Structure 1
Amino acid sequence: MLFSLPVVAFGAALRLLLAPPLTPSVPPVPAVVSGHLDHAPAGDSVRLEYAGHYGPKATKAKLGPDGTFSVALENLKGGTPAEFSYAGQRTGLYLSPGDRLQLALDFPRFDETLRYTGRGADANNYLAQSLWKFEYGPAGTPPRPELTPTTTAGDLRRVADAFRHQRQAFLAAYAKAHPLPADFQRNAALDIDLQWAITLLEYPGYRRYVAKQAAALPADYYGFLSQLPLKKFDQYLSADRGLAGNTNVMRFLNGYGSRLVPTGALSTDPAEAGRLYARATADFGPTAARDRAVFQLLSFAVGDNLPGVLAAYPTFRTQNRDSVMARDLRVLLQKQLLISPGRLAPAFTLRDHEGKAVALQDLRGQVVYLDFWGTWCRPCMEEMPASRELRKQFAGREVVFVYVAMGDKAEKWQQVLAAERLTGPGSVHLRDQEQKTGVDYQVFRYPTYFLIGRDGRIVTGNAPRPSNAAAAAAAIETALKQ
């Protein structure tokens, strides 16, 4: 026993001596993005956002008086999607350790003139040229897929297929002429496929909500999903794909709800949820992507199809394997039940366009038609002319139209109120830049309309839109009689 310690110490020393010399830790070489913005507005900062080791990161630098800037990104793990932004304009980047990327553009023609030189330029010039050619530049041949009230499923499929083929051909030709990182090229090809599929998935919802008609779909309409690597989709649920890539993945999973429920209305038959899961499992397999797709469907339906979500919830709890999503859906349901018909509407106090504090409590005794909207929301703005007409119809009666602008800055909000002549008798215009009211009322899409009775209790959290004038007027009349 007396020799135990020396023997152990000797062995440790021997292993240390025989071990290969330690390689000094060398920090990753930063990627540097610099450049020149012609005719850019002064007073803002260049900002780069990207996926860091522990979550999203951002760095920024002031734009010099001569329009130049330089930003360094430290500790990139490898090829990393990023986003460049300045003064409200933004574009996607792809950066690797050691890149020395120089950017140049004429700010008033941001997307059209965006060009890169230096190490890392090839991938980023593909992003810039593709964006201009296929999204923001003049329409080409074949045209970009666009949904109109007269678009048929067959018409859309033909145009979408041709557009996808054109984008694939552009990527192949560019990659042949310019070396592109393998992971970048795979992601670029996936995004082309996702945007093609998103267009096709969103068609049934467009027909229901915009064209006000059910979509006439061929029996094999969703066959295009077999062209996507759905059973390997879990690898794309990652921050490594950056903001634009993740946006495409989430939009795809959101749109996939039309595959599960083509009518847009969840059944209140609990057995239907089992069939819904079986369909998703056949497409994705028993994967995290399947669970995310079903979660997206149910969470977005909580507001306007609560009975259907409650019927599907037991099956979701059994099938879903993600504890975070299970908790989030449970919380959503609990909050939604608090704003179900007959419950007191959540209290709020906000400032109106004249700076006066207005509380919902102040409006007791009147029927409140509550409109959650934003100046940035095109469908919201399209509803405003019909909303003015609806106000006129109930002028002088015990009805008040309350508009809560969500996320708007004061100056823009005031400008739109004045330019569009949105204020007037029977209306109250409020602003919630922090969007806390939307959380209390579980607002997930815009516009959203609530009808609140004279007693302050919710009549419905899914009131008819002003453009559905007859239904909206009938709902208000019914509330006035209660």
Structure 2
Amino acid sequence: MKKFIFLLAVSVMAACSQAPENEVRITGVIENPTAADVEVFYYKDFVTNQTEKVETGLDAGNAFESLLPLTEGRFVYVSQPRRNIMLYLMPGADISISFNAEDPDQLPAIEGKKALESRFLVSYNMEVERKYNRSIILNQVGSTSAEDFRQMMEDAYAEKLAFLEGHDDYRKLDKDFVNIMKTNFLYEKYGLLLDYPMAFAYFNPEAGDPELPEDFFEFLESDDLFDDEYLMSRPYFSFVNAYLNRHAEQNTDPESELSYYERQYEFAREIFTGKTREALLAQNLVYLLNFGTTEAGEKYYADFSALVQTPEYRELIDAEYQTIKALASGQPAPAITLTDIDGNEVSLSDFAGKVVYLDFWASWCGPCMREVPFAKELKKRMEGEEDLVFFYVSVDTDETAWRNKVAEMEIKGVHVNVPGFSHEVPSSYNLKGVPTFYLIGRDGKIFDNRPPRPSNPLVDEVLKAALEQELV
């Protein structure tokens, strides 16, 4: 009876309005919710993994309604902590969903307009994907010979295809959806085969490289291995990245002075064509702009701009370039006003006339924790420099974990916390990962947008240069 009322409530909600053709409408009721809101999103691209998302609060009955702009078929995720449900929706879809956020074994109930593909997908993920997801497969590599592993991949591929083509509603499924699922199946297989030698060596460090049949990588010789039509498939995009990595490892000159991402860019330019090449160039240029030298970023941005014609990639890179330029040395540091660890409001502007060593970090971040002892030594060396401020911005979503780590590690400085990377403060600093450092000069402008970490021997020199800067 309870289940009947639960589904009836969802059906009534779905009947109240219709989704426009350039949007999707998702209504739902969540049993045992693990948060007060639900996030609905999809990935707009695989180059930067930017998402289109909406967060909606649950009402008193744990129901929600979300409208998400959508102009083409996409994998859409309905997410709560501990439960992430993947759907496939097309423009104009108007569906209702019910699920138990604490029970991953319960199949979500999905009804409504253009819901058929999503019903298939949750069933597929429950019955097939669970057996063959990447982490499960890779954990078996260490005890599996190359020939047996190849057969395992063929069997998994055949089972996935059989589940799709043998489904009662197979002929009713959207053709684009069927094509992308088949593409996913194929490149999941190819990607795992490509990763086999490295994974085997990882699990068997003393055994060295595995013995491979001569034709183990024969599939790499296929004439249609790369196809721009497959770029909507994440497994395809992951595979071409793995292929690029393999090519770079086999062909990099040991004497090369190019950085990792410079080499990746150059090899992608050389061995790929079409939109697949443009996507890989864009991806590696994003890394170069964010983590490479300014000179390398400018060089490859100019090359990309002259070479790439696809508007979506040009727009993406142009936006990234402008963001990086806005955070270059000499630009005003984005404002920060937050509540510190003691409950007091603190702003970056409070330290006008001083030098601020800004550290974005998280309690769960191993590299961040490895910098802490070096930071303590740095503070000892800088003792007496009253105009030097160590300002820590944690991106922990668990505030207790943040507070505990500050106390446990005895991290001295100004401490504030924001819940994740999407908060406006890390977003304003274009935060891509942690740890990330900025050095703010006495004038409130960025002195160095990639200063040395505390573990870098050059850090003292850079901090002292900022302290010696005279205000104009």
Aligned partner letter, 2:309: R
Where do residues 306-317 of structure 1 align in structure 2 (5 Å cutoff)? Answer: 306=293, 307-317=295-305
Q: Is residue 77–residue 86 contact of structure 2 (8 Å, CA) maintained in 1? A: yes
Where do residues 145-160 of structure 1 align in structure 2 (5 Å cutoff)? Answer: none
Match of 2:414 in 1: 428
Match of 1:279 in 2: 270
Match of 1:477 in 2: 460
Match of 2:288 in 1: 301
Q: Is residue 438–residue 450 contact of structure 2 (8 Å, CA) maintained in 1? A: yes
1:461 corresponds, among 450, 453, 458, to 450
CA displacement 1:76-112 (0-9 Å, x = unmatched): 99976443335663211246899998866543222x2
Gap regions ≥5 residues in structure 1:
1-26, 207-215, 239-244
Q: Is residue 34–residue 82 contact of structure 2 (8 Å, CA) maintained in 1? A: no
Tell me if 1:169 matches 2:158: yes
2:107 corresponds, among 92, 96, 114, to 114
CA displacement 1:120-139 (0-9 Å, x = unmatched): 34443113333433349xx7
Aligned partner letter, 1:187: I
Match of 2:372 in 1: 388
Q: Is residue 144–residue 159 contact of structure 1 (8 Å, CA) maintained in 2? A: no
Aligned partner letter, 2:284: L
Q: Displacement of 1:305 after TM fit?
A: 1.9
Q: Is residue 25–residue 95 contact of structure 2 (8 Å, CA) maintained in 1? A: yes
Q: How many residues align?
A: 401
Q: Displacement of 1:174 after TM fit?
A: 1.9
Tell me if 1:190 matches 2:183: yes
Tell me if 1:445 matches 2:455: no
Aligned partner letter, 2:79: S
CA displacement 1:409-432 (0-9 Å, x = unmatched): xxx453222232357453222345
Q: Displacement of 1:344 after TM fit?
A: 5.8
Q: Identity percentage over the alignment?
A: 18
CA distance in 2, matches of 1:37, 1:126: 21
Aligned partner letter, 1:419: N
2:130 corresponds, among 102, 122, 132, to 132
Q: Is residue 450–residue 463 contact of structure 1 (8 Å, CA) maintained in 2? A: no
CA distance in 2, matches of 1:71, 1:457: 42
Tell me if 1:178 matches 2:167: yes
CA distance in 1, matches of 2:68, 2:411: 56
- Which structure has the larger Rg over C-alpha atoms? 1
CA distance in 2, matches of 1:440, 1:257: 32
Q: Alpha carbons of 1:231 and 1:115: their partners in 2 closer, same or farther (altered >3 Å)?
A: same
CA distance in 1, matches of 2:72, 2:289: 40
Q: Displacement of 1:321 after TM fit?
A: 0.9
CA distance in 1, matches of 2:69, 2:439: 52
- Determine helix, strand or coil for the equivalent of 1:348: coil
Aligned partner letter, 1:359: L
Q: Is residue 144–residue 163 contact of structure 1 (8 Å, CA) maintained in 2? A: no
Q: Is residue 393–residue 418 contact of structure 2 (8 Å, CA) maintained in 1? A: yes
Match of 2:335 in 1: 348
Q: Alpha carbons of 1:338 and 1:156: their partners in 2 closer, same or farther (altered >3 Å)?
A: farther
CA distance in 1, matches of 2:220, 2:411: 51
Could you state the TM-score of these two structures normalised by the residue count of structure 2? 0.62
CA distance in 1, matches of 2:378, 2:71: 61
Could you state the TM-score of these two structures normalised by the residue count of structure 1? 0.61
CA displacement 1:425-481 (0-9 Å, x = unmatched): 5322234566445455443333323455778663461634x6xx4xx2x12233355
Gap regions ≥5 residues in structure 2:
1-19, 45-50, 200-208, 466-472
Aligned partner letter, 2:281: V
